């Protein structure tokens, strides 16, 4: 069980977190795949390797393009389910999780947006 789902379960809304947990797992898997790809890259020794690494960064950038909308959809579904159960309250654990997610995402965008990265082309993010 991942940390986000454990936090949600302790908040007493296990049933309502199914949609958010599924989306969280999808996004987390994207990050795990990206980490593995970066770790397995043999290193940059020449201009050809640099081009391959730049393409890898672009691929990762594109893969993560929908991470925020996917998470937002899960949060919206959670909110609707809690509203239907008349349990719409502040859930600090979810806010804390999302704050960490967005801060990590900003850091990754800054790193990838450097020279040669997709963000360096005005791609935003």
Give 15-49 as a DSSP string: GGGHHHHHHHHHHHHHHHHHHHHHHH-----SHHH
38-54 tens-digit pLDDT:
999 999 999 999 999 99
Give the phi and the psi of residue 6 in degrees, each rounded to 5. -60, -40
The Cα 26–Cα 67 span in angstroms is 9
How many angstroms separate the Cα of 58 from the Cα of each of 11, 55, 68, 102?
A: 38, 5, 17, 20
pLDDT values of the chain reduced to their tens digit, one per residue, 125 residues:
344 433 344 444 444 467 778 888 899 899 999 999 999 999 999 999 999 999 999 999 899 889 989 988 888 888 887 777 766 666 777 788 888 888 888 887 787 776 555 544 544 44
Domains within the chain, CATH numbers bracketed: 3-119 (1.20.140.20)
Residue 11: the pLDDT is 42
What is the pLDDT, as a whole number, of residue 41? 96
């Amino acid at each position: 069980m991942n940390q986000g789902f454990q936090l949600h379960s302790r908040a007493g809304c296990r049933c309502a977190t199914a949609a958010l947990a599924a989306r969280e797992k999808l996004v987390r898997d994207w990050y795990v795949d990206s980490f593995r790809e970066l770790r397995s890259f043999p290193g940059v020794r020449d201009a050809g390797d640099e081009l391959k690494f730049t393409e890898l960064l672009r691929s990762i950038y594109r893969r993560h393009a929908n991470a925020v909308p996917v998470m937002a959809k899960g949060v919206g579904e959670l909110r609707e389910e809690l509203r239907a159960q008349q349990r719409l309250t502040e859930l600090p654990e979810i806010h804390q999780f999302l704050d960490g997610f967005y801060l990590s995402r900003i850091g990754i965008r800054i790193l990838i947006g450097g020279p040669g990265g997709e963000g360096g082309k005005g791609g935003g993010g």
